[in-house]
Structure 1
Amino acid sequence: MRLDRHRRVHLTGSFTAGLTAREISDRCKQNIATVHLHLKNREKYDPEFFAKHTAALEARGPHRITTKWRKRLNEAQEYYATHGRLPRRTGNPEEHSLAEWVAEQRRLFERNELPQAKIVLLYPLPGWNINAQTQEREIRWRNRLSLLVDFVNTEHRMPRYRTYATEEEHLLGVWLHNQHQRRSESRLELWKLKALNEAVLDWRSRN
């Protein structure tokens, strides 16, 4: 089976990060023979390819990938696929335990103590390396954007923070005013600017 370019790049990066061929096969859901063939072909272009893998594999040390660690990762991914979010400490004991595991991976990552092999495996899990408080703020921001879209679709205008008709409009107007200020001061994150532009085409209008 021929691998597409994205999978070839991911496979190569995983191997030089210290993952074994079996781990890559399990992770990418590719036949191990296909993985071995790609690795063998890659060596033709990079004579140090296997040496890099060996060095990274030896460097995994105390934070090596264990069966238990992989099991927890699979549980976290299944939880996200089912609930559309990472587990929270405020959930039931099982969810709390899983949230603690994800938080520990984040702490190790922030301290530069998480090996590259684990980072590669964690990469498909959205938001695993983002601080929980930051995630909550982003969720609130997206919720406020959704309310803005509903308001514009219903009222056919932007919410006002001065001559407002309701307290709900006032809250939205203040929020939108803050987005204008942050944009003018180049403090509005690019993803937020993009989200606003896509959700409300003329949100910059101050009518």
Structure 2
Amino acid sequence: MMFTAGLTASEIADLCKQNIATVHLHLKNREKYDDGFYSKHLEALKARGPHRISTKWRKRVKQAHDFYLTRGHLPLHSGNSSEHSLAEWIAEQRRLYARNELPLAKLVLLEPLPGWHVNARIQEREMLWLNKLKLFIDFVAIEHRMPRYRTYATPEEHVLGVWVHNQHQRRTENRLELWKLEALNEEVPGWRSRA
């Protein structure tokens, strides 16, 4: 029944806690007595689609959970070969998630893994942006003016002036993310250029 529902022999062996050779033998015997047994399996397997939850996928998600529980963080690309391999696997799940190609069943199994869907590089860039925003807010509160990028008084003011100028450019070109625009408008009303 499981085989004709599209499960592979290794998935059946895993679920039934049986040796895969035993499962193969049973399936081979069943093929003798049930015409079309194997074709039913192929049809059901195809219907499961390319992103079905396989035994290998379940093992990888369990490895990721175990890694997180023992280390307190997700696997890193800079770790040893097995850690790197697991980090690559998580990155692939993240790419599929971003393209909306992960089925709900996989999302449910990945959910207990904190931050699996967050791109670390994007998260780091956003943290840097938030740090610049805080420096910008502090500058305006202390100096009572906007930082300048041309006639600046200090190198720190120049850095902030360039940052604000870049935010103006991105806003003008509709490339500034909405949450960043809202944060700037809320924290420093009047920050926008007149252009």
TM-score normalised by L of structure 1: 0.52
User: SS at 1:182's partner residue?
Assistant: helix
Counterparts in 2 of 1:150 and 1:121: CA distance versus 1, 3 Å = farther
Counterparts in 2 of 1:168 and 1:103: CA distance versus 1, 3 Å = same
Q: Which is further off, 61-70 or 147-156?
A: 61-70
Match of 1:194 in 2: 182
Structure 2 matches for 1:32-111, cutoff 5 A? 59=48, 60-62=52-54, 66=58, 69-70=61-62, 72-73=64-65, 75-76=67-68, 88-90=76-78, 99-109=87-97
* Aligned-pair CA distance for 1:190: 0.6
Distance 2:113 2:181 in 1: 24
Match of 1:162 in 2: 150
Asked if the contact 1:65/1:118 (under 8 Å) is kept, the reply is: no
> Which fold has the larger relative contact order, with Cα–Cα distance below 8 Å and residues 6 or more apart in sequence?
1
Counterparts in 2 of 1:154 and 1:132: CA distance versus 1, 3 Å = same
Distance 1:91 1:199 in 2: 39
State the structure with more CA Rg. Answer: 2
Gaps of 5+ in 1: 1-54
* Aligned-pair CA distance for 1:167: 1.0
- When the two structures are aligned, how many residues end up with a matched partner? 146
Gaps of 5+ in 2: 1-43
Counterparts in 2 of 1:170 and 1:135: CA distance versus 1, 3 Å = same
**Correspondent of 1:129 among 108, 112, 117:** 117
Report percent identity of matched pairs: 62
Deviations 1:3-40 (A, max 9, x none): xxxxxxxxxxxxxxxxxxxxxxxxxxxxxxxxxxxxxx
The letter of the residue matching 1:117 is A
The letter of the residue matching 1:169 is E
The letter of the residue matching 2:116 is W
User: SS at 1:66's partner residue?
Assistant: helix
Structure 2 matches for 1:12-51, cutoff 5 A? none
Counterparts in 2 of 1:121 and 1:66: CA distance versus 1, 3 Å = closer
Match of 1:173 in 2: 161
Asked if the contact 1:76/1:87 (under 8 Å) is kept, the reply is: yes
**Correspondent of 2:140 among 133, 152, 177:** 152
Counterparts in 2 of 1:127 and 1:142: CA distance versus 1, 3 Å = farther
